[in-house]
Amino acid sequence: MSCGAKKDVSRRDFLRSGAALATMQLAPGVTLMAFGGSEAQAAADAGKRWGLLIDASKCAPDCNACITACQDENGWKGSGNAETDVQWIRKVTLKDKSSGRETSLPVMCQHCESPPCVDVCPTGASFKRKDGIVLVDKHICIGCRYCMMACPFKARSFVHEHVTNQKTHAPRGIGTVESCTLCVHRVDEGRIPACVEACEATGHGAMVFGDLLDPESEISRRLAEYPSVALRPDLDLNPGVRYREI
């Protein structure tokens, strides 16, 4: 492989077309339009805002498929110490005290439009991409954990242990903070997040991923069709993750 500073245009074009092809093969019979994307994304696009719609009525209380898929995809796992283990996505059970009815739903980084984690970060490591995905630049993160305090959703984790065997596309290590990336490495290739794909595969279909700015996307059409809520709407953070039936 050539690692030149001057970009090898033909190789790049080859990779681009390769990515588009993989996308089409990945979902036979299903166009990317169904997920809200218009074509394979080659880069973060300011004209898009990626989001999730989670239908709690379809989420099975005993199902953990989204969490396992996230662990496999991004290479995080528990070491048996709940106090310090990282958790990019967790299942939360809500109970209506008067009726006793329980609702189960996955909660991860809500990819806030006005993210408190970014507001408080003293180094600039917490940032929001122009397509709305909130990330940590671990090259800059000093592990102060201020963002963990600021996040209203307990979405971020600090890596306490040495990490080995990271995925090439998901570097992570001791002394830095991390959270759901909305599978940014997949989104950049025009694919959908691993959790959504896994939920789809179980047949529950509780999660929809797509572009909130595209009125024709599946997610936008569903949001227009029925009521949905943001978690902690009082905080006015306009999260990219929305819920239904909670």
Partner 1 sequence: MRASLLIAGLIAMLASAVWAEGQGGLGPVIPEATGKAHPEGNDYMRRWHMSMMRHDRDVTMYEGKRDQNASLGGCFECHAAKDETGTPVTYADARHFCRSCHDFVAVRVDCFDCHRSTPEGVEEPPAHAALGGVLSPSLGADVGALVAYLGAWEVGQ
- Please give the residue ranges that form the binding site for partner 1 (CB under 8 A): 1-5, 7-8, 11-12, 15-16, 19, 41-44, 127, 129, 131, 135, 137-139, 143, 160-168, 171-176, 184-185, 187-189
Minimum CB distance to ligand SF4 smaller for 128 or for 221: 128
Minimum CB distance to partner 1 smaller for 54 or for 184: 184
224, two tokens: 């227009």
The CB density around residue 214, as the number of other CB atoms within 10 Å, is 18
CA torsion through residues 8, 14, 17, 20, sign: negative
Longest CA–CA separation in the chain, Å: 66
88 binds, among ligand SF4, partner 1, none (CB under 5 to 8 A by kind): none
- Check: CB of residue 124 under 8 Å from CB of residue 143: no
Nearest CA to 133 out of 233, 41, 44, 72 is that of: 44
Least distance between ligand SF4 and beta carbon 216 (Å): 26
Nearest CA to 69 out of 157, 163, 190, 197 is that of: 197
Mode of pairing for the β-strands spanning 241-244 and 50-55: parallel
156 binds, among ligand SF4, partner 1, none (CB under 5 to 8 A by kind): ligand SF4
Question: Interface with ligand SF4 by CB under 6 A: which residues?
Answer: 109-112, 115-117, 120-121, 123, 125-126, 134, 136, 141-147, 151, 153, 155-156, 177, 179
Least distance between partner 1 and beta carbon 1 (Å): 5
Minimum CB distance to partner 1 smaller for 106 or for 210: 210
Least distance between partner 1 and beta carbon 83 (Å): 12
Minimum CB distance to partner 1 smaller for 183 or for 206: 183
Least distance between partner 1 and beta carbon 70 (Å): 18
Residue carrying structure tokens 């189960």: 104
174, two tokens: 């001791």
Minimum CB distance to ligand SF4 smaller for 52 or for 65: 52
DSSP assignment letter at 191: P
144, two tokens: 């102060």
Minimum CB distance to partner 1 smaller for 143 or for 152: 143
